[in-house]
C-alpha cells in the first residue's frame, strides 16, 4: 500500500475513505486557489460559506431530507445531545427511553436530570444482546418523545424495525450507523449522529430536527449555545463552528453520492458484514454475542471460550496489521467495527486470518 496503511477496525474515531483523505491532502496547503488551508479560513468568508452550504445540501440529497427539517452542525459530540434533547424537546417534562445498551443507558441517566423518564423497554436482562419488543409500549399520553439508540456501538445490536411510538415524536441516536443505509427521515422527529463513527473527524454532531420541535421558551437558565433555535437561526454559525469537521464531512457526503448513494452503501455493508457473520456462524472457536435478528452491520462483537484466548487473538491480529479489535470491557472479547469506509477486502482478510488462527490453535 502506498502509505503502508493498515486495516483499522476502530469503533471511533474510525477509518475514513482513502479517496477523501487524498483529496484533503491535495487541498491542504491551498484550498481551491484561496491560498489557505481550510483550517486557516474565517468561517465568515465566502469560500467557507460555500463549504458549509454544500455540505448541508449534499447531506439533504443523500438522505432526501424533507424541507421541514433543519440540518444542524453542533459541537460537543453525541454526548452533549444526551442533555440538549431533554432541555429542548421536553415541554411536559416527560419522556420515554428504550434501554438497549451502553449508549442508551448513558442518555437515560443524563435525561433523568431534566424530567420524568420512563424506561419503557429494556434488554438489560441478557446483557443487551437483543432489541426488546416495542410494538405495544406503555407510553404516557403526555410523553414529549420516545428515544432510541438505533445502533448500539458497544453491544453491536441494531433495530430491524422502529418502535411503535403511538404517535409520539421519535428521537434516534444514529451515531454508529449514520449514512450506512437509506433512512426515511420523516419517521423521526429528530435524528442525530456524532460524526466520528461513520463519517468524519471527532467533535461534531449532525442533528436533523423537524422544524416544529425547534422552539423558544426554554428554561431561561439553558445556555444559548444549548438551544437548537440558536443553531437553527444562525445556520450552525452562532459561534465558530467545527469548520474542519464540516469540511471533511462534506467531502464524505460527496464521496457517498458519487459511489451510488445510500442504497449502494447498504448493499456493500450487507455483503461485508455477511462475510464476518458467516464465519462466526461456522467457527467452533469464535461466536457472535448478539441474537441474529438484531445483529449490527457496523459493529460486530464476538468472543472465544475464554478471556485468555481472546487476548491471544487480539495480540495476533494486531501484529498482523488488523488493529483496534479489542472489545469493550462490558462485553469482552473482540469487536470489529466495519463502517462504510472499511473495504470488503479488509473484512475478508480478517476472516482469513481468524480462520488460520483457529486451524492452528483450535
Ligand atoms: C460514540 C457514541 C456516542 C458518544 O459520542 P461522543 O462524540 O464521544 O460524545 C453516543 N452514541 C453512540 C451510539 C456512540 O456510538
User: Of how many residues is the chain composed?
Assistant: 362
**For residues 224 and 265, is the Cβ–Cβ distance under 8 A?**
no
What percentage of the chain reaches a pLDDT higher than 70?
99
- For residue 262, the number of C-alpha atoms closer than 13 Å in the C-beta half-sphere is 19
What percentage of the chain reaches a pLDDT higher than 90?
98
Per residue in 24-55, pLDDT (tens digit) is: 999 999 999 999 999 999 999 999 999 999 99
Give Cα separations from 144 to 90, 137, 214 (angstroms).
6, 15, 13
pLDDT-derived band at 154, boundaries 50, 70, 90: very high
**Of all protein residues, whose CA lies closest to atom 5 belonging to ligand 1?**
78
From ligand 1's centre to the CA of 36, what distance in Å?
32
Instruction: Give the C-alpha separation, 122 to 305, whole Å.
Output: 27
Give Cα separations from 158 to 170, 176, 212, 303, 335 (angstroms).
16, 10, 28, 19, 15
Q: Give me the pLDDT at residue 1, please.
A: 46
Listed in order, strand segments (DSSP E) in the chain are 7-8, 69-75, 94-99, 116-122, 146-149, 151-152, 157-158, 170-173, 190-194, 204-210, 287-288, 299-303, 322-323, 334-337
Q: Give me the pLDDT at residue 78, please.
A: 98
Specify the ligand 1 atom closest to the Cα of 203: 7
Per residue in 96-141, pLDDT (tens digit) is: 999 999 999 999 999 999 999 999 999 999 999 999 999 999 999 9
Which three three-digit cell numbers place residue 88? 429542548
Give yes or no for residue 194 CB within 6 A of ligand 1: yes
* Residue 173 among the catalytic residues: yes
Q: Give me the pLDDT at residue 4, please.
A: 86
E strand or H helix at 108: helix 102-111
* Residue 197 among the catalytic residues: yes
Q: What is the CA radius of gyration of the chain?
A: 21
**For residues 96 and 146, is the Cβ–Cβ distance under 8 A?**
yes
Block residue for cell numbers 414529549: 144
Q: Name the catalytic one among 103, 105, 144, 251.
A: 103
Listed in order, strand segments (DSSP E) in 195-242 are 204-210
pLDDT at 299 over 90: yes
Per residue in 239-262, pLDDT (tens digit) is: 999 999 999 999 999 999 999 999
Across the chain, mean pLDDT equals: 97
Which three three-digit cell numbers place residue 257? 453520492
Ligand 1: which of 74, 76, 79 to mutate, judged by most atoms within 8 Å of the beta carbon?
A: 79
Pairing of strands 170-173, 157-158: unpaired
Ligand 1: which of 177, 197, 330 to mutate, judged by most atoms within 8 Å of the beta carbon?
A: 197
**For residues 354 and 314, is the Cβ–Cβ distance under 8 A?**
no
**How far is CA 178 from its chain centroid?**
5
**Of all protein residues, whose CA lies closest to atom 8 belonging to ligand 1?**
77
If DSSP codes are grouped into helix, strand and coil, which group holds residue 119? strand
Q: Give me the pLDDT at residue 2, please.
A: 63
Per residue in 49-74, pLDDT (tens digit) is: 999 999 999 999 999 999 999 999 99
Give yes or no for residue 153 CB within 6 A of ligand 1: yes
Specify the ligand 1 atom closest to the Cα of 80: 9
Q: Give me the pLDDT at residue 362, please.
A: 80
Nearest CA to 111 among 70, 138, 139, 143? 143
Instruction: Give the C-alpha separation, 264 to 255, whole Å.
Output: 12
Amino acid at each position: 500500500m502506498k502509505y503502508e496503511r493498515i486495516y483499522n477496525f476502530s469503533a471511533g474515531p474510525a477509518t475514513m475513505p482513502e479517496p477523501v483523505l487524498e483529496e484533503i491532502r491535495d487541498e491542504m496547503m491551498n484550498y481551491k486557489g484561496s491560498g489557505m488551508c481550510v483550517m486557516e479560513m474565517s468561517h465568515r468568508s465566502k469560500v467557507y460559506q460555500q463549504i458549509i452550504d454544500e455540505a448541508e445540501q449534499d447531506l439533504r440529497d443523500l438522505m432526501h431530507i424533507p424541507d421541514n427539517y433543519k440540518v444542524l452542525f453542533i459541537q460537543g459530540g453525541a454526548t452533549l445531545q444526551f442533555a440538549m434533547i431533554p432541555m429542548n424537546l421536553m415541554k411536559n417534562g416527560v419522556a420515554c427511553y428504550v434501554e438497549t445498551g451502553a449508549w442508551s443507558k448513558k442518555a437515560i441517566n443524563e435525561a433523568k436530570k431534566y424530567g420524568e423518564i420512563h424506561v419503557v423497554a429494556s434488554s438489560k436482562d441478557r446483557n443487551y444482546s437483543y432489541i426488546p419488543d416495542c410494538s405495544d409500549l406503555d407510553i404516557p399520553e403526555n410523553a414529549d418523545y420516545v428515544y432510541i439508540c438505533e445502533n448500539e456501538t458497544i453491544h453491536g445490536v441494531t433495530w430491524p424495525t422502529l418502535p411503535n411510538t403511538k404517535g409520539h415524536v421519535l428521537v434516534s441516536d444514529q451515531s454508529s450507523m449514520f449514512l450506512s443505509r437509506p433512512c426515511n427521515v420523516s419517521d423521526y422527529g429528530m435524528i442525530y449522529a456524532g460524526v466520528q463513527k461513520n463519517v468524519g473527524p471527532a467533535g461534531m454532531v449532525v442533528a436533523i430536527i423537524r422544524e416544529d420541535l425547534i422552539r423558544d421558551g426554554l428554561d431561561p437558565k439553558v445556555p444559548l449555545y444549548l438551544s437548537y433555535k440558536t443553531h437553527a437561526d444562525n445556520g450552525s454559525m452562532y459561534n465558530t463552528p467545527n469548520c474542519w469537521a464540516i469540511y471533511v464531512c462534506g467531502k464524505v457526503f460527496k464521496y457517498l453520492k458519487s459511489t451510488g448513494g445510500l442504497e449502494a452503501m447498504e448493499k456493500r455493508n450487507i455483503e461485508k458484514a455477511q462475510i464476518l457473520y458467516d464465519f462466526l456462524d461456522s467457527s467452533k472457536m469464535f461466536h457472535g454475542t448478539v441474537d441474529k435478528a438484531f445483529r449490527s452491520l457496523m459493529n460486530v462483537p464476538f468472543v472465544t471460550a475464554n478471556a485468555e484466548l481472546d487476548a491471544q487473538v487480539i495480540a495476533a491480529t494486531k501484529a498482523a496489521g488488523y488493529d483496534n479489535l479489542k472489545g469493550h470491557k462490558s462485553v469482552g472479547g473482540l469487536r470489529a467495527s466495519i463502517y462504510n469506509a472499511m473495504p470488503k477486502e479488509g473484512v475478508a482478510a480478517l476472516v482469513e486470518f481468524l480462520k488460520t488462527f483457529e486451524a492452528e490453535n483450535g
